[in-house]
Amino acid sequence: MLFSSIPFLYYFLPIVILLYFVVPFKYKNFILMFVSLFFYFWGESTYVLLMIGVTLCGYIFGLLIDKYRDNKKLSKTFMLISLLSSFSILAVFKYADFFIENVNAIFNSNLKLLKLALPIGISFYTFQIASYTIDLYWENIKVQKSFIKFMTYVSMFPQLIAGPIVRYSDIEKEIDERTIRREDVAHGIRRFTLGLSKKILLANVLGEFVDIAKTSNEMSVLYMWLYVIAYALHIYFDFSGYSDMAIGLGKAFGFAFPENFNYPYISKSITEFWRRWHLTLSTWFRDYIYIPLGGNRVSKIKWYRNILVVWAFTGLWHGASWNFVIWGLMFAAILVLEKLFLGKLLEKMPQIIRRIYTLVIIAISWVVFDATSFADITNRLAVMFGFGGVPLVTAETLYYLKSYLIIFIIGIIGATPLPSMLAKKLSDKESLHKLVNVAEVIALPLLVVVSTAYLVDGSFNPFLYFRF
């Protein structure tokens, strides 16, 4: 069930709100766990038991790590078994066929593919459980002795299937004791509504164009650039919109989930981009892989190795396919170059050059990310940079440009902090503050109604990060 769907908005959500806010506090976690399992069951009825099983393993090993804390060796063994078990399951479901395909290709063998369906959100909940296990071993957090509370943490529906990757430390206090304040509920509604609108009114519309571009025979240089820009905006509004909805729902239910995006397309380098894009994933890799490997406080060779490992994993996390590995390694190479000399060189350049450099690399990266073959990557890049033997522009390209121009403009402006800065500036003026409040009370419900209209009429509503 997607947040941006009628069953969620107008059936699931009212029932959940009613149950959650009516029951006394001591039952709230149970209600949240129960509805979250139902939410997961709705989309993944077969694998709900798998998720419960993986969570149970994480919970039991957590108890054992805590119980044998004084015996460092035993405690470490439990931590490793816990990680090994949960990551093995992830590996089997997500990477087994990729591995078999490559073995078959290299050794000309004919091993049978497992063809297992990928359980929704498995990458997200595996990483959450792993963060709990490691943090517990490192004594950054206290053990959770209640299975219901632990299950609630892992399965909590706002962040279950698409993040942000919430660490146990993020909600450790709130899982035991939380207050639900009026301003938090209102803030949650505001955040959820903006996320919903980003997803439905921008991401889905841009996604329609991306689909048209990929399936049509139309080809021109401008058309390819429109496709790349549309894809870049689509994936940003899709994912950040979903994160906004998750954070908003969390806030309304009394939890403060971590931020996941911070206007990544205004970055002036790729290093900065990764400090603004999918923050909970990049910080997860930083804290649990890069730093334990030694980070940059090691020899240069080891430092290169650390970067390579982290970015190969980052690529593979997004999907079991070589294009994702290339995508990850491409960023590894650029980050190394930026750290070696490019970063300093860029700092001497005008801001506009730095932004263009970053955006062009991001554009290329999305071509790699969205490709289904190497030929796709080379063909699209060739067309983008004028080597595809296609016209610069065609009548059909101009038609699509005209048709989607307003959406592109809104999307580009919306991907910068300008709208929120403007809203803040107006709101900060005492004379306008009340007026801004009135505008907000009118605009937000209007956005819900218009988004609903799109949902009622439309069928295009996939979610990109659903199966990562």
Partner 1 sequence: MSDKIKDYSLIIIFAIIIFGTFLMNIVVEDSAVSKSERKALQQFPEISAKTIKDKSFMTKFETYTSDQFVGRDAYRKLKAFVVFNIFRHSDNNDIYIADGHASKYVGKTNENAVNTVIKGYNHVYDTLLKNNDNVYFSIIPDKNYFIAEENGYPSINYEELVKEFNKNLNSEIKYIDLFDSLSIDDYYTTDIHWRQEKINDVVKKLAEEMNFDTGNINYTENVLEGFYGVYYGQSALPLDSEDLIYYTAEEFDGVTVKVLDETVSAQGVAKFDKADMYNLQKYTGADPYDVYLHGPKQLIVIENKNASSNRELVIFRDSFTSSLAPLLVESYAKITLIDLRYIANTFITKEMVDFNKNQDVLILNSIDVLNSGSIKFFDENNMLIK
First to last CA, the chain: 16
| Residue 438 found at the interface with partner 1 (CB under 8 A) | yes
Among residue numbers 97 through 116, which ones bind partner 1 (CB under 8 A)?
Answer: none
Of 160 and 407, the one with the shorter C-beta distance to partner 1 is 407
Upper half-sphere CA count for residue 18 (Cβ side, 13 Å) = 6
| Residue 431 found at the interface with partner 1 (CB under 8 A) | no
Identified binder of partner 1 from the candidate list 69, 149, 178, 190, rule CB under 8 A: 190
Q: What are phi and psi of 70, to 5 degrees?
A: -70, -25
Upper half-sphere CA count for residue 451 (Cβ side, 13 Å) = 27
| Residue 419 found at the interface with partner 1 (CB under 8 A) | no
**To 5 degrees, how large is the angle CA 98–CA 101–CA 102?**
90
Residue with tokens 């009026």: 182
CA dist., res. 466 & res. 440, Å (int): 30
Q: How far is the CB of 392 from partner 1 (least distance, A)?
A: 16
Identified binder of partner 1 from the candidate list 186, 329, 336, 342, rule CB under 8 A: 186
CA dist., res. 176 & res. 321, Å (int): 40
CB 204 within 8 A of CB 461: yes
Residue type, 451: S
Binding mask 17-56 for partner 1 (x = CB under 8 A): xx-----------------------xx-xx----------
Of 203 and 205, the one with the shorter C-beta distance to partner 1 is 205
Of 95 and 454, the one with the shorter C-beta distance to partner 1 is 454
**The one segment of 64-72, 185-193, 220-228, 350-358 that binds partner 1 by CB under 8 A:** 185-193
| Residue 392 found at the interface with partner 1 (CB under 8 A) | no
Binding mask 447-466 for partner 1 (x = CB under 8 A): -xxx-xxxxxxx--------
| Residue 441 found at the interface with partner 1 (CB under 8 A) | yes
Of 148 and 180, the one with the shorter C-beta distance to partner 1 is 180
Residues with Cβ < 8 Å from 203, sequence gap 6 or more? 233, 234, 236, 237, 238, 241
Note the residue count of the chain. 468
The structure tokens listed for 6 are 């009628």
164 upstream amide cis, omega within 30 of 0: yes
Identified binder of partner 1 from the candidate list 56, 149, 440, 467, rule CB under 8 A: 440
| Residue 118 found at the interface with partner 1 (CB under 8 A) | no
Q: How far is the CB of 204 from partner 1 (least distance, A)?
A: 12
The catalytic position among 187, 234, 278, 318 is 318
Among residue numbers 205 through 224, which ones bind partner 1 (CB under 8 A)?
Answer: 205, 216-218
| Residue 14 found at the interface with partner 1 (CB under 8 A) | yes
| Residue 183 found at the interface with partner 1 (CB under 8 A) | yes
Upper half-sphere CA count for residue 363 (Cβ side, 13 Å) = 17
| Residue 294 found at the interface with partner 1 (CB under 8 A) | no
Nearest CA among 115, 114, 125 for reference residue 48: 125
- The widest CA-to-CA distance across the chain, in whole angstroms, is 74
Residues contacting partner 1: total by CB under 8 A: 54
- State the sign of the Cα–Cα–Cα–Cα dihedral 453, 454, 459, 462: negative
Q: How far is the CB of 425 from partner 1 (least distance, A)?
A: 17
Of 362 and 383, the one with the shorter C-beta distance to partner 1 is 383
Nearest CA among 171, 91, 90 for reference residue 135: 171
Q: Kindly provide the b/e burial profile for residues 299-310, where b requires at least 16 CB atoms within 10 angstroms of the residue's own CB.
A: eeeebeebbeeb
Of 5 and 77, the one with the shorter C-beta distance to partner 1 is 5
* DSSP string computed for 375-386: HHHHHHHHHHTT
Active site residue 318: yes
| Residue 434 found at the interface with partner 1 (CB under 8 A) | yes
Identified binder of partner 1 from the candidate list 146, 403, 416, 420, rule CB under 8 A: 403
| Residue 351 found at the interface with partner 1 (CB under 8 A) | no
CB 264 within 8 A of CB 214: no
Helix (H) and strand (E) counts in the chain: 23, 0
| Residue 185 found at the interface with partner 1 (CB under 8 A) | yes
- Residues near partner 1 (CB under 8 A) are 1, 5-7, 9-11, 13-15, 17-18, 42-43, 45-46, 182-183, 185-186, 189-190, 193, 205, 216-218, 395-396, 399, 402-407, 410, 434, 437-438, 440-441, 444-445, 448-450, 452-458
Residues with catalytic roles: 318
